[in-house]
Each structure stands twice: as C-alpha cells, then as structure tokens.
C-alpha cells in the first residue's frame, strides 16, 4: 500500500476538506436495524459459533442481505471467502459497492464486523438461576454486524467516489481467524483494489451514557495524524472518544488489528465491555437502540468522508 508523506502545507489543505463534513441526507431504517439484530441474536441462530449450523445461518443471512441491498459478490461469483479453521472450511462474507468516480474507484475502504459469537461453547458464561445455555451475542457482535449491514444499505443508495467493500468476518472469537486470512491474502483476493482504510465495528450497542470509542492508528505517522484530524472534525456532537491505538489496551483484540499489522490505516469503533459480555444475558432486549441508531449515523459520516475525498492519495 502506498501512502504519501504529506508536506505540512499539503496536510493542512487535505484536512480542511473534512471541515465541510461531506455527507448525504440519510435516514437510518430503524425497523430494519432492529429486526436484523433480533434475528441474528435469536435462539434460532444458536449463538453463531463458528462451525455450527447457526453460524452458517448467520452467514446465509448476510449473503441474502447483501443481495437485497444490491451489493456485488467480491469475485463476481460468490460472496463467500473460504478459509480453514480447525479442519473445517468456513467463510467470511464479502460484498462490494463500486465507486462512482472513474479516477478513484480502484481505491477502496473495507468496512467490517464479525458475525460469529460463542454459542454454547465453554467460552459462554452461564448465569446461576437461569436455564439459558446460549450466548446469543446481541451486542457482541450482532450490533456491529447490523451496523455494517445498515451502512451497506445506505451506501447502495448513495454510492461514493471510492469503492466500499463490506465484510462480515467469521471466527473472530477464535482469535481473529477470518480477518487474518483476508488481510494476508488481500492482494490475491481483491487484486483490482488499492485498500486505503479498514473500518471495524465491534460491540456498538451498549453503554449509551458514554461516547463511542474510536480507536485509530497506522504505522505511517502522517496517515495516523490524518485519521485523528478527520475524527476530530466530525466530532462536533461528541459522538466519539478518540484515542490512538497504541494507547488503547483493547486495540489488538478485534478484526481491524490484522489489517493494521499489514500496514493499513484502521479505525475500530466500540462501546466496549459491560456486565453481559460473553454471558447468556447479552440479549437483544439489552441493546440501547436509540444510541445504536445515532452511532450508525456517526460512523456513516466518517466512512462517507473517507470515501468521497477528492484527493488521489489520502
């Protein structure tokens, strides 16, 4: 990935663009978001543990939503990117919205969230006094998954200059397996695109009394500084608690991190841990939906800004 070293004056000119807050008049489909979350975190999906029938149901749910929203399969034949885990063939789900600018559409932003959870595995904490045995993962990470889906629906209506690649990652709970596989094979699997940024959403539906953590970083200092300026300029409503990844203790523990290690600039959005984390009590009725809707709008503004900047080498 080529990232230019900006001169001081160039950097100021680039950042000045973001003060215009380039965005469309959009409307979050609150019913769609809520229905998607309740579906993914229902007992029917069994907690979406990788390698189970419920995980395959979740995978197929994402494929059908990508089709419904008009996203293209990433390789013209399938939305499924296969990889091996524990001797099994499992899949990430990848859909593409092509950029509208002939000069910029070969540049792309990855927007992702993991759709797997821990189901009825040993990782699932049971709660004394209840018979519930399924960790349904409403916040972890049905919330991030439905945010990703809603962004896909919105951007399918308002295509950006750059291409946006939407990814439902699998086997995150097993150690970032799906995101590691994609990031390691990015040039092979997505040869037509120059990946500029990776945006990850992991647990964005709780802790509504606090700003959404926006943890950014890049191995290129100029790129990291630019991400910081973008987030700050889009934070007039104090939607975000902005922190650089190297100062954030949870930074290595979600699907943006393999991309960061490969040299891509990344942002992780998360509302962080709560008392229902990895417990059977992480259910849809605990989600703060009004906050989730606002956070989707705020993340949309960030992605839209990155995807519509006129400069060739942001």
Q: What is the CATH number of the domain that holds 293?
A: 3.40.630.10
Does residue 2 fall inside a structural domain?
no
Count the Cβ atoms, other than its own, within 10 Å of residue 240.
22
The tens digit of pLDDT for each residue in 236-292 reads 999 999 999 999 999 999 999 999 999 999 999 999 999 999 999 999 999 999 999
Report yes or no on 114 lying in a domain: yes
DSSP conformation letters of 274-301: -TTTTBTT--GGG--HHHHHHHHHHHHH
Q: What's the pTM value of the predicted model, to 2 decimals?
A: 0.92
Tokens 């979350």 locate to: 37
pLDDT of residue 129: 84
Owning domain of residue 179: 8-16+27-308
In a domain, 21, yes or no: no
Q: Is residue 110 part of a domain?
A: yes
Total domains, the chain: 1
Q: Does 22 fall in a domain?
A: no
Residue 313 — pLDDT band, cuts 50, 70, 90? Answer: low
Residues 6+ apart with CB under 8 A from 302: 199, 214, 230, 231, 234, 267
- Within 10 Å of residue 128's Cβ, how many Cβ atoms? 4
Contact 204, 271 (CB under 8 A): yes
Q: Which helix (H) or strand (E) holds 265?
A: none
% of the chain at pLDDT higher than 90? 87
pLDDT at residue 94 is higher than 80: yes
Distance CA 27, CA 37 (A): 18
Q: Is residue 314 part of a domain?
A: no
Per mean pLDDT, which range of 89-98, 119-128, 147-156, 168-177 is the poorest? 119-128
Q: Which of 17-31, 37-51, 100-114 has the lowest mean pLDDT?
A: 17-31
The answer for residues whose C-beta is within 8 angstroms of residue 194's C-beta and 6 or more apart is 1, 2, 106, 107, 108
Contact indicator for 309, 17 with CB cutoff of 8 Å: yes
Please write the tens of the pLDDT for every residue from 212-227.
Answer: 999 999 999 999 999 9
For residues 77-91, give the mean pLDDT: 97
Give the per-residue pLDDT at 167: 99
pLDDT of 22 strictly over 60 = no
pLDDT at 5 over 90: no
Residue 241: inside a domain: yes
pLDDT band at 26 (very low <50, low <70, confident <90, very high): confident
* pLDDT exceeds cutoff 60 at 192: yes
Domain annotation covers residue 38: yes
- High-pLDDT (> 70) share of the chain, %: 91
Task: Give the position of tokens 């013209």.
Answer: 76
């Amino acid at each position: 990935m080529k990232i230019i070293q900006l001169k001081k004056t160039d950097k100021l000119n680039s950042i000045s663009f973001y003060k215009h807050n380039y965005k469309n008049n959009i409307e979050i489909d609150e019913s769609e978001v809520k229905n998607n979350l309740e579906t993914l975190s229902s007992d029917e999906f069994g907690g979406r543990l990788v390698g189970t029938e419920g995980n395959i149901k979740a995978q197929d749910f994402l494929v059908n939503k990508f089709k419904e929203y008009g996203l293209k399969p990433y390789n013209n034949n399938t939305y499924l990117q296969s990889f091996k885990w524990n001797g099994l063939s499992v899949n990430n789900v990848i859909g593409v919205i092509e950029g509208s600018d002939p000069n910029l559409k070969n540049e792309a932003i990855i927007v992702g969230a993991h759709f797997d959870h821990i189901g009825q595995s040993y990782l699932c904490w049971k709660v004394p006094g209840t018979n519930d045995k399924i960790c349904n993962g409403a916040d972890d990470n049905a919330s991030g998954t439905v945010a990703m889906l809603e962004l896909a629906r919105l951007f399918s209506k308002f295509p950006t200059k750059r291409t946006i690649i939407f990814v439902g990652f699998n086997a995150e709970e097993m150690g970032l397996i799906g995101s590691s596989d994609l990031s390691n094979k990015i040039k092979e699997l997505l040869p037509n695109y120059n990946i500029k940024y990776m945006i990850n959403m992991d647990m964005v539906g709780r802790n509504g009394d606090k700003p959404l953590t926006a943890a950014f970083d890049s191995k290129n200092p100029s790129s990291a500084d630019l991400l910081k300026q973008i987030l700050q300029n889009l934070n007039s409503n104090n939607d975000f608690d902005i922190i650089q990844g190297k100062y954030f203790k949870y930074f290595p523990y979600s699907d943006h991190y393999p991309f960061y290690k490969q040299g891509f600039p990344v942002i992780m959005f998360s509302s962080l841990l709560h008392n229902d984390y990895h417990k059977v009590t992480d259910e849809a009725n605990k989600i703060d939906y009004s906050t989730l809707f606002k956070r989707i709008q705020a993340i949309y503004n960030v992605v839209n800004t990155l995807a519509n900047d006129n400069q060739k080498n942001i």
